Amino acid sequence: MRRIESIFIHPSLMCAIALTAVAAPTAVAEQPYAGEIARWTAQDRLDPPEAGAILFIGSSSIRRWEQLTRDFDDYRVIQRGYGGCHFDHVNQYADEIVLPYKPSAIVVWAGANDLNSGQPADELVEDFEAFIEKVHGEQPGVEVFYLGVTSTIGNEASKDARDEANARISELCAQGERLHFIDLPSAFYDLGGPDDEAFSGMYVDDLHLNRKGYRFWTSLIRPNVEAVVKPNKAYQPNPDAPGAGASILFDFGPSNAEDGAHTTGADTNGNHWNNWHEAKGNVAVNAGEHLAGLVDSNGEPTGVGMVITGGFATNGVRNGGLAEPDADRLGDLAVATATQDFFFSSADDRWGGGNDDAGGGFMLTGLNPEGSYDFRFFGSRVDPSETRATEFRVFGSNRGKATLTTTGEGVGSDGAYAGNDGEIAEVSGISPDRFGQVFIDMTVVEGTYAYLNAMEMRVRSLGARDHDNNERGAHAAAREN
């Protein structure tokens, strides 16, 4: 029997907590998804997205698209997916998370949950029309791409309504200005059905795609987008980028006293840390959330930012974080406020495996494309019931990976402690892509959960790339899955 972690309750089902920096515009309990919307809008006010990006919005298949920013690495991307939403929820929050971005294009995946819940095609088409009226009524130049609702292993009951809705929306797009229907349904029908490996091999569960499925999605979606909206990302040199030998330290985890704490000021070694926004344990951190203004270990601004690409759950003090780290084993990462709490993921990209809803990934921006960077990851969670291991994959213009055993009987340095207290996963010599981006992905490779408590990124060198780690070129490595 699988042991169940104290995992997050999805914000659509509870009164999630907005960032303390900015109060939520309405009471969370009054609206579905209000906690998620409040976090995004609060972070947007602190770190406003640049106008002209491509907005990917919709339900869980947008939220779970962890490699989206890699698949569209040469576009400015805003990812706003909230699991379980219907098209009318997209319309409901258009004033908060659509129109303020002034996007050049919008890619919409919405309607699958509507139809699966028994909603007729008429209502979905009306919601689509309302969305177009809202967007083009205020921003007529926006290109809108609608992703046709595909068949899945678990939605055969909605086939008739799905086919009708797709046909009618496709016709509306053909007749309208700046409207584009991307015919995912035909491509998926061509794969066969649930009994065909070509079809079922695209899914991690009855409804959601695995990494192979998202590669297939990208092969269909990107050419359609690129035919209308050309790549719009340009490298912008970062005058504050950390120099050779500098390091950036990050403390992952919640900040409420019961579950964790931020690492503030200078630690006992004189180092300064970065922390995620204020958050309680058991509340999700979703794809598309972002943090600007990272500092180096001297407390100096770096111009480096972080964007969540695959969601996390959070936990810590009450659930087995490392409370007494040893500097002889962990060096600069041996700071209790950093090791006692953690982000965690349950994604393993396997049918019947973990819950890939929390994909576990993030990207760093503002780095020097000609630089070489070393990464050190520490993860730990005490639990003697099973051994757990995390694979950290790091992508830039080259790639690297390392595996860390975080949990299990006898894992500790003394053979008795049931958590990691002395091992660090290291990935060295990573060069950012041509836009100064690096992507980090976490995957469960043993047990049920992957953990990240603390991380150090150190600038190995600047001005000459280190290509020893299987250099593949900017696009090939960034899109490797």
Q: In this predicted structure, what is the pLDDT of residue 262?
A: 97
Statement to judge: residues 193 and 310 lie in one domain = no
Q: In this predicted structure, what is the pLDDT of residue 355?
A: 84
Q: In this predicted structure, what is the pLDDT of residue 481?
A: 53
Q: In this predicted structure, what is the pLDDT of residue 48?
A: 98
Using CA atoms, how far apart are residues 63 and 80, in angstroms rounded to an integer? 7
- Identity of the residue numbered 472: R
At residue 361, the 3 state secondary structure works out as strand
In the numeric block, which tokens belong to residue 282?
A: 């058991």
Statement to judge: residues 180 and 262 lie in one domain = no
Domain annotation covers residue 301: yes
CB-CB contact of 379 with 443 (8 Å):
no
Domain annotation covers residue 174: yes
Using CA atoms, how far apart are residues 367 and 334, in angstroms rounded to an integer? 26
Q: What is the CATH number of the domain that holds 82?
A: 3.40.50.1110
Q: In this predicted structure, what is the pLDDT of residue 283?
A: 87
Tell me which DSSP letter residue 205 carries: S
CA angle 190, 192, 196 (to 5 degrees): 145
Statement to judge: residues 291 and 433 lie in one domain = yes
Task: Report the C-alpha dihedral over residues 354, 10, 97, 223, rounded to 10 degrees.
Answer: 20
Residue (of 188, 194, 124) closest to 156 by Cα position:
194
Domain limits at 319?
A: 247-478
pLDDT tens, per residue, the chain with 481 residues: 333 344 333 333 333 333 333 333 333 335 789 999 999 999 999 999 999 999 999 999 999 999 999 999 999 999 999 989 999 999 999 999 999 999 999 999 999 999 999 999 999 999 999 999 999 999 999 999 999 999 999 998 999 999 999 999 999 999 999 999 999 999 999 999 888 999 999 999 999 999 999 999 999 999 999 999 999 999 999 999 999 999 999 999 999 999 999 999 999 999 999 999 999 998 899 999 999 999 999 999 999 999 999 999 999 999 999 999 999 999 999 999 999 999 999 999 999 887 888 899 999 999 999 999 999 999 999 999 999 999 999 999 999 999 999 999 999 999 999 999 999 999 999 999 999 999 999 999 999 999 999 999 999 999 855 444 433 333 434 444 5
Statement to judge: residues 294 and 167 lie in one domain = no
For the chain, the domain total comes to 2
Statement to judge: residues 275 and 184 lie in one domain = no
DSSP codes of every residue in 404-439? EEEESTT-STTS--SB-SS--EEEEEEPP-TTS-EE
Using CA atoms, how far apart are residues 40 and 317, in angstroms rounded to an integer? 26
In the numeric block, which tokens belong to residue 343?
A: 């982000």
Statement to judge: residues 254 and 132 lie in one domain = no
Statement to judge: residues 69 and 188 lie in one domain = yes
Q: Can you give the pTM of this predicted structure?
A: 0.91
Tell me which DSSP letter residue 276 carries: P
Domain annotation covers residue 232: no
Domain annotation covers residue 312: yes
Tell me which DSSP letter residue 155 carries: -
Residue in the block written with tokens 């972690």: 5
Domain annotation covers residue 45: no
Contacts of 70 (CB under 8 A, 6+ apart): 309, 395, 439, 478, 479, 481
Domain annotation covers residue 43: no
Strand-strand pairing, 361-365 and 438-446: antiparallel
Rg (CA), the chain: 22
Using CA atoms, how far apart are residues 341 and 453, in angstroms rounded to an integer? 6
Statement to judge: residues 184 and 271 lie in one domain = no
Using CA atoms, how far apart are residues 126 and 204, in angstroms rounded to an integer? 31
Using CA atoms, how far apart are residues 111 and 150, in angstroms rounded to an integer? 10
Contacts of 316 (CB under 8 A, 6+ apart): 253, 254, 259, 260, 281, 340, 341, 342
Statement to judge: residues 367 and 273 lie in one domain = yes
Domain annotation covers residue 2: no
Residue (of 50, 54, 86) closest to 68 by Cα position:
54
Statement to judge: residues 211 and 327 lie in one domain = no
Contacts of 115 (CB under 8 A, 6+ apart): 121, 124, 149, 155, 158, 161, 162, 165
Last residue of a domain, one of 176, 195, 226: 226
CA distances to 156, 279, 313, 381 from 276, rounded to whole Å, are 41, 8, 13, 19
CA distances to 36, 157, 209, 449, 471 from 203, rounded to whole Å, are 26, 18, 4, 20, 30
How many Cβ atoms sit within 10 Å of the Cβ of residue 271? 19
The residue ranges of DSSP E strands in 260-371, in sequence order, are: 274-275, 290-291, 305-310, 313-315, 342-345, 361-365
Contacts of 175 (CB under 8 A, 6+ apart): none
CB-CB contact of 419 with 406 (8 Å):
yes
In the numeric block, which tokens belong to residue 171?
A: 């016709």
Statement to judge: residues 293 and 207 lie in one domain = no
The strands making up 361-365's β-sheet, listed across from edge to edge, are 290-291, 305-310, 361-365, 438-446, 388-395, 399-407
Q: Is the dihedral angle over the CA atoms 18, 23, 28, 34 positive or is it negative?
A: negative
- Identity of the residue numbered 443: T
Domain annotation covers residue 32: no
